[in-house]
Amino acid sequence: MSEPDAGRAPTPESAPAPLPPQEPSPQELSTQESAPQESAPLAPPATGARRLSPLTPLVRAPIVLLAVLGGSWQSLLSGGIGPGALAVVALVLAGGAYGVASWLRTTYWIHDDELRIDTGVVSRQSRRIRIDRLQGIDIVQPLVARLVGLAELRFDTASGSGREGTLAFLPHREAVALRAQLLRRRDVSRGAPAGNPGLGVPGAGVTTTPEPWPGPPFRLPEDLPRPAPTAASPGTGPAGADPAEWPITRQPDRELARLDLGLLVASTLLSPTAVLFVLGGGALLAGSLLTGAPLFAGGVVPALIGTGIALFRQFSAAYGFVVSESEEGVAVRRGLTNLTSQTVPLPRVQGVVVSEPVMWRRFGWARLEVSVAGAAGADDATFSSSTLLPVGPREQVLWLARHVLEGEDLTTVPLVPVQRRARWAAPLWWRTLAFGQDARYAVSRRGWFTRRFDVVPQGKVQSVRVTQGPWQRRLGLATLHVDSPLGRVAVRADERDAAEARALAATLVERGRAARHAPGRDRPDEATTAPL
């Protein structure tokens, strides 16, 4: 692309043409940070072909070095420079050359209604992501990338089967600007107003602004209407310009909840993983004392190492957990080594789960998780991307669940326990089984070691099923399944009377139909619901 001829003197017959905004260089971008509280306009990135940050090969190099040194550290420590050391040098040089070539061959740009990403050194791959199908864009900063001011963008689309694509790595400020620009284009392509993503769009963002969590003593704050866009808000743009290209002005995020470090440490030590380790280690120790066999050293030590790694990953993923209200929905920032920023669009929340492990119930702690339509699964095996609050006071968790569902208090839904004959089908936990519904929600309770409450709005129910196993048919029992989009939420009425289960299913069908046709209901394409 050629530079514009900005130095030409204007002729008397023509007025000087306005100069296009100058883009900062990658070095300037990498040294700037964009905090959520900053309200200065962010210049949208250019739509021409762009490359990733030149520092991308250096960010990925430590992974290659650790993998190579892990297999040859003994030879290097012994001081012998033989075939092994030469192989290490050759692998490092080859990996560096491949990293530079991969960076040169990776480009991205916005073309019409698509984000195109071309990658590959030997085998070329061109991935095209439809902007109107984007469900979420997460910003992730691994440890090495944070040190040099880079970030990775991860894209979720309506398929929900996994990450549709990534851009790793960009300067942090450029990643923030590109994310905002893609969300703006998505809203414009869906026919939404051209303000900030989700601002003032029914079903496309936060429509109310609650006060932050007030803390003990618990009180439920009144919802305050969001102020209308002012001259400082992006409600207007240059005459004749594409609304998707208007300057982006971020409104300050409003913090809803922040995870206390002491609470995180205590809850991690009392988590089900730690409790199971203590119980299993105690059983092995007792066996070793009774039999005299070295079961303790042979069984507990490896388990201790594995449990310690799992607990550290759990702690690291939830460290610094902050929940805020942004213009796109509920924003989550978390991470000790890998900093992750993700946004949960409220209209796409299909339900919530409130979990209470047995060791937490004595202290009144709970966890909040959500199911989001079209979102990818867990980022790793220890921490799910659907977690909206890893641990907190139960009242705070219920308050946040109410805000996410944009409804009323969940505890007002009456729960009906199962009949006594259900103990023959679930002898250990039949007392914990309960189900309830009203015009707004369907709620189920189950579990003893980890008690969980699954909640789904009636308008988000996709189908209802009643199943019976051989033993259930003999006892006259049945299980009612309330199906919603794939996710953490699984509303289920276990071990109910067969006639009662069918009556509950019929009631759910009628209430779901009424909820979907209620005044003020979100558009079907925004709520992703299907008729029963």
Q: Which DSSP string do the residues of 182-248 spell out, in sequence order?
A: HHHHHHHHTT--SSSTTTT-TTSS--EEPPPP--SSP--PPPEEPPPP-TTTTT---TT--GGGSPB
Q: Which of 129, 110, 106, 128 is nearest to 118 (CA)?
A: 106
Q: In this structure, are strands 322-326 and 416-417 parallel, antiparallel, or unpaired?
A: unpaired
- Mean pLDDT (the chain) is 76
Average pLDDT over residues 479-495: 92
Length of the chain: 532
Cα 505 to chain centroid, rounded:
32
Higher pLDDT, 61 or 125: 125
d(CA 370, CA 406): 13
What tens digit of pLDDT does each residue of 42-58 get?
Answer: 444 545 688 999 999 88
Instruction: Check the CA dihedral 355-357-359-361 and report its sign.
Output: positive
**Alpha-carbon span 145 to 239, nearest angstrom:** 39
Average pLDDT over residues 15-21: 41
In the DSSP assignment, the letter for residue 355 is E
Give the DSSP letter of residue 23. P
Q: For the segment 138-159, what is each residue's pLDDT rounded down to a tens digit?
A: 899 998 899 999 999 998 876 6
> Higher-confidence residue: 453 or 4?
453
Percent of the chain residues topping a pLDDT of 70: 67
DSSP3 helix / strand / coil % (the chain, rounded to 5): 35, 25, 40
4, exposed or middle or buried, with CB in 10 Å at 0-12, 13-18, 19+? exposed
* Confidence band, pLDDT 50/70/90 cuts, at residue 78: low
Q: Report the predicted TM-score, pTM, of the whole model to 2 decimal places.
A: 0.74
Q: Which residues contact 90 (CB under 8 A, 6 or more apart)?
A: none
Reported for 183-192, long-range contacts at CB under 8 A and 24+ positions apart, including other chains, are: 183/134, 183/137, 183/328, 184/44, 184/243, 184/244, 184/246, 184/248, 185/110, 185/113, 185/131, 185/244, 186/131, 186/132, 186/134, 188/243, 188/244, 189/113, 189/131, 189/132, 189/244, 190/132, 190/525
Cβ contacts of 220 within 8 Å, gap of 6 or more: 399, 402, 409
Determine the topology of domain 408-519 in CATH: PH-domain like (2.30.29)
Nearest to 363, CA basis, from 325, 395, 411, 317: 395
Tally Cβ neighbours within 10 Å of residue 193: 15
Query: Are β-strands 114-119 and 107-111 bridged in parallel, bridged antiparallel, or unpaired?
Result: antiparallel
pLDDT tens digits for range 300-337: 677 778 888 889 999 999 999 999 998 888 999 999 98
| Tokens standing for residue 6 | 């900005």
Q: Would you list the domain boundaries of the chain?
A: 49-189, 408-519
Whose CA is closest to 319, among 296, 338, 300?
A: 338
Asked whether the predicted pLDDT for residue 371 surpasses 70, the reply is yes
**Backbone φ, ψ for residue 75 (5° rounding):** -65, -35
CATH architecture of the domain with residue range 49-189: Roll (2.30)
State whether residue 275 is helix, strand or coil.
helix
Whether residue 269 has pLDDT greater than 80: yes
Measured CA to CA, the distance from residue 367 to residue 264 in angstroms comes to 11
Q: Is the pLDDT of residue 168 over 50?
A: yes
Fold equal for 49-189 and 408-519:
yes
Render pLDDT for 379-393 as a digit per residue (tens, 0 to 9).
Answer: 444 456 689 999 999
Ramachandran bin of 191, using left for φ above 0, alpha for ψ from -120 to 50, beta for the remaining angles: left
